[in-house]
Structure 1
């Protein structure tokens, strides 16, 4: 019967964070009892989290809770919902205005409302880079000193594009971290140069509706994301604008 238990990534993260209720904890215990390899992996994650917490005073947490990956996913979803609410409110306002002297103003089409609600491309890539490039204390899932990072990507993302070769610009991959999106696993690979500057390569499944991205770029504060799609995945190169455009770009 335990083989029929399904555990998703959100439940794994909740287990590591100690946020399961009693029923969920019982289910997880049954699952881990028959999956010893995963039990060891999650136990290692919990120890890492405990060590990070112990290394910092309780009054000064090591990481802004807003930068937690689960919080990022929730925030992106909230932003999308907010855009839908805003688009709907504009639609309602225009309709009401039409009854009070705004009849000649055009009513937005369904496609315009959809565009207003659509999240900006590769928001998760920029968020992931901010978290893991800006917080070296966070544990990586793979280090270049211990693992062939190209093989790590190939193992976790079948048929994916090879890691960008940025050696001519002085950047080398140093670490990688697995992440979770609503469409499946994602990862960020951090590159560094001898000066300690960083850039990140992000890979994820296509967006909702198997949406692939045309080649493009967008600015978010001091960061620039250059994105594209190939071999069934979406990719982004993220970093300081000057580095991405003039260095690693």
Structure 2
């Protein structure tokens, strides 16, 4: 039995998230179907994490166990010919048996993109939240900096979270301008359900002057979802990279 790790990118617009569900199209189901077409195996892939409906990825990672003798370097080509056009396998590696794409992950980086233009960029419409109202980006950066470090992020996760605890570590978080696009990058050891989208929804209130930058620390310490702002739209969110202790 071999353990294969795969990096995959996908446009999440027409998916009901990464993880298999009873209803709706998911990335996991499409990939498992492609593997079955290729090898005849009924197997379950293990994702590095879940992405919600409408969320995209350039660097999602999953692994699976197979008895197929297909060389690791051939998996990407073989699967891409059997996958829909909105999922693309970028690379595949053979990894040790103990490798687990979620448990072995050490750092994940997400990006949330806001289109600040007066009119939306038509080519970014699936990947950026159009928000033409002026924003105080400097204040938003000050507020975002309050989240760096190890904290209990209960205020910034959905009330439907099933995690046993909400303590996470954010290693870095910053904004970057690219033309009319404003990107927020966050790197951490893990993220909670809707966490980045709630952070962005709250930061938009900071950008509008409805909240002060220092209110982000107060909201964090309050540990109540009701203290934070709304959940930002999913299509602006992208899983950029998952990092492991050793290169796969």
* Bin of the TM-score, shorter chain as denominator length: under 0.3
Please say which structure displays the higher CA radius of gyration.
1
TM-score in terms of structure 2 length: 0.25
Greater fraction of residues in strand:
2
**Higher helix fraction: Structure 1 or Structure 2?**
1
TM-score, with length taken from structure 1: 0.25
Structure with the larger RCO, 1 or 2 (CA within 8 Å, 6+ apart): 2
